[in-house]
Structure 1
């Protein structure tokens, strides 16, 4: 059971995440619908949507430097305020080129928010409670996404820039829980990800699975609302359908993950890819009504959003001891690259084949992933899974650390002989020691005081008085 002190430290960042996530949950949908209503092509909409994911990738590589310099609380306030400003500017300027720039900056700032929250939770408790903290994180993130999509119709009915104003207000309000807690926050250590080329050598399945997940998830967020609007659904209905997709991701991810713990993860990835292909074909060819479409989108969300955690679990099974954190961070970067490339690649298919081209693209991606995973399984069968599944979200450069447990490390040591990794990865310090005295009864909480200008001033005055 988590201590009250630990719960108190986790409550503020999780509440801030939930508030900001409500607005962020339907911002992409609002932008897609507004651009389509203005007569912009699917290609233009795809590029504007891609800007957000490009910002995510850039932030995943750079934002930890600011966090290390100014601390969690100040970094959160800076990033959330920047999110609010970019959203308000989108309500004032409705040009695609301006929205591309603002979405790029907004993605960079949003991933900074996730970086603060995830690193806070990672460093607050030891390995015995991180899984529960991560579960709370995922519940907050997905619940906010569902609620945000349901608010879409309400804010759009107000007309004008009302949707952007509501999203910006939520981003600003999310600072309050972080600003009102005592000025203490956990420590964070910087860890550089492995290069993409090195990752391909170590775990081709993990790299392709993470990249494919980015392609499909970004298409769901960016282009599925466009498909729904062009099929004649009202804004209210579009928000409800997008909420169903996120709900499917929330409810099906954990059962799929537990299933992958008990079976060959490569086989699970093959079956997920085939499942997504079948669901896409069903949307294209079955007679469709609102309930049928909602059920198929629920299943599609569960399948698409399950690719990433299963791929990361497979990579952890292959990882050498000491490289798990860096490998996970590298896979997050690969995922962000896939997300950035998705809208520019999928939107031309919609322009060429019509709006149903989105599901042709989903089906094609599923078939390609199935073929690749099947080939890899025939070339080098996966070892028995040793890393228990933990739900994770590709949002920041340290988010995957939340899923790295002692079981990952111990399992990697036991199965290190499966691949020839000699000289592959230099040893790095892991978060939890493998040997040593047992942990104390209460989870360890490492924290430091946030830098404070008043503290510096009092130190300076004291020095002057002594002199």
Structure 2
């Protein structure tokens, strides 16, 4: 990567890293503080769900604001709202008040993601976007893991100090965006496909994205509650959450390479079975803290890999002209799963006990296995044409980062092959296309 390109993306990456350190521990701390105040799992679920509802709303509408006022001003406004909401959380406690603040926080947080992703999307050409996305994911996961590791020490500062620290980090994240010289990009709005169209294109992609949204939201919001209720202190909860994020970061690439050489529906079935087995192991096997950390590491890697493999599978079946719109629609499906997850699973935890979280994970992954097998039988595997690209479900514009030249060319060749096969059965157009290119 050239120094000029790195200089162009340095400011948004630094800003993202700083603000996400605070976000990394505030999400877990909110759950832990609600539980310490004696709130039920249902109330914890409502407050947690509010954040993801805000995230979904922002994913649909925040790009309009960025187009109107520009990246730097939009980022400054979103970061300021994040700072205000977390500071207000520290000033006054009330579960419903916190739910409203978390809603606004989610709306502002996805705005930050949208600014950073669209900036990086337009900073380089197609050949550099894969590396830019890798840097983005390193900043996102690395900051989240760092925030979780510091959770215990930060919580020991006092009642309001952790919220002050998160507000301070959100405010400081504006400095790189305003002080480091750069050229700001422009954003063009694109409407996502409707759910009905997505289901027609790729039922398995929709199922996987929705199911992964349910699981990922439960990991971020309800897993800290479970860990605290089984007797871990705040420091140990942070370490366990950090192991989940580390697993998500390290296992995406090998799973992605596997999905490039294997039918992706088979990979989705295997991932769901793997998550089912890990969830049951946590429930049924006696385990030490070290064993639990290893199991959570593996569970995080499996759960977080389902979304990008589902997106890549859907891209295999999408017409070239609908790729970006399709990925945006799948992101909204994922966000909808995130929004309902804390409400649904927390109510089941209230009835079944704290272990209900992993019974829900087990039931969810069992349903995914059955649905993926059903779709596998209903529709045979296509030729692999869309190379896997690691993806983080955050915002709409960021979805365009996953559309590579190989993906577009592969989809065009696959679509042309299907069209000509209807006229001349058995025809193989892949080689003629390559010969034409050589000529």
Task: Find out whether 1:266 has 2:259 as its counterpart.
Answer: no
What corresponds to 1:15 in structure 2? Answer: 14
- TM norm structure 2: 0.94
Distance 1:324 1:249 in 2: 25
Deviation at 1:382, TM superposition (A): 2.4
Contact 1:16 1:174 in 2 (8 A): yes
1:118 corresponds to: 117
Q: Out of 191-200 and 276-285, give the one that drifted further.
A: 191-200
Matched with 1:24 is 23
**In the alignment, what sits opposite 2:232?**
233
Contact 1:14 1:137 survives alignment (8 Å): yes
Q: 2-side partners of 1:85 and 1:418: how far apart?
A: 55
Deviations 1:35-69 (A, max 9, x none): 00000000000010000000010000000001001
Q: In structure 1, what is the Cα distance between the partners aligned to 2:347 and 2:418? A: 40
Question: For the residues of structure 2 that align with 1:114 and 1:54, how far apart are their CA atoms?
Answer: 16
Query: SS of 1:306's equivalent?
Result: helix
1:166 aligns with 2:169: no
Pair 1:395 & 2:402 matched? no
Q: Is the 8 A contact 1:19 1:170 kept in 2?
A: yes
Write the mapping of 1:14-413 to structure 2, written as runs, cut at 5 A: 14-182=13-181, 184-413=183-412
The 10-residue stretch of structure 1 (162-171 or 182-191) with the greater mean CA deviation from structure 2: 182-191
Q: Which is further off, 96-105 or 409-418?
A: 409-418
CA deviation after TM superposition for structure 1 residue 183, in Å: 5.7
Contact 1:312/1:331 (CA < 8 Å) preserved in 2?
yes
Inter-partner Cα distance in structure 2 for 1:418 and 1:353: 52
SS in 2 for 1:322: helix
C-alpha contact 1:392 1:399 (8 A) present in aligned 2:
no
| Displacement after TM superposition at 1:184 (Å) | 2.3
After superposition, the C-alpha distances for 1:119-166 in whole angstroms (9 at most, x for unaligned) are 000011110100000000001111101100011101110111111011
Aligned to 1:456: none
Structure 1 or 2: more helix by fraction: 2
CA contact (8 A) 1:17 1:140 kept: yes
Measured in 1, the distance between the counterparts of 2:165 and 2:203 equals 43
The alpha-carbon deviation at position 384 of structure 1 amounts to 2.1
Q: TM-score, normalised by structure 1?
A: 0.89
Q: 1:413 offset after TM fit, Å?
A: 1.4
- In 1, distance between residues paired with 2:49 and 2:415? 38
The alignment covers a number of residue pairs equal to 421
Whether contact under 8 Å (1:214, 1:335) holds in the other structure is yes
- For the residues of structure 1 that align with 2:89 and 2:293, how far apart are their CA atoms? 30
Give runs of ≥4 in structure 1 deviating > 6 Å. 417-420
Structure 2 portions without partners, runs of 5+ = 420-432
CA–CA separation in structure 2 for the residues paired with 1:408 and 1:271: 24
The SS at the match of 2:188 is coil
Matches of 1:183 and 1:26 in 2, distance apart?
Answer: 30
Mapped to 2, the partners of 1:184 and 1:133 lie a distance apart of: 16
What RMSD over aligned residues (CA atoms) do the two structures have, in Å?
1.4
Contact 2:8 2:182 in 1 (8 A): no
Pairwise mapping of residues 431-442 of structure 1 onto structure 2 (< 5 A)?
Answer: none
CA distance in 2, matches of 1:394, 1:229: 27
**Corresponding residue SS for 1:153:** helix
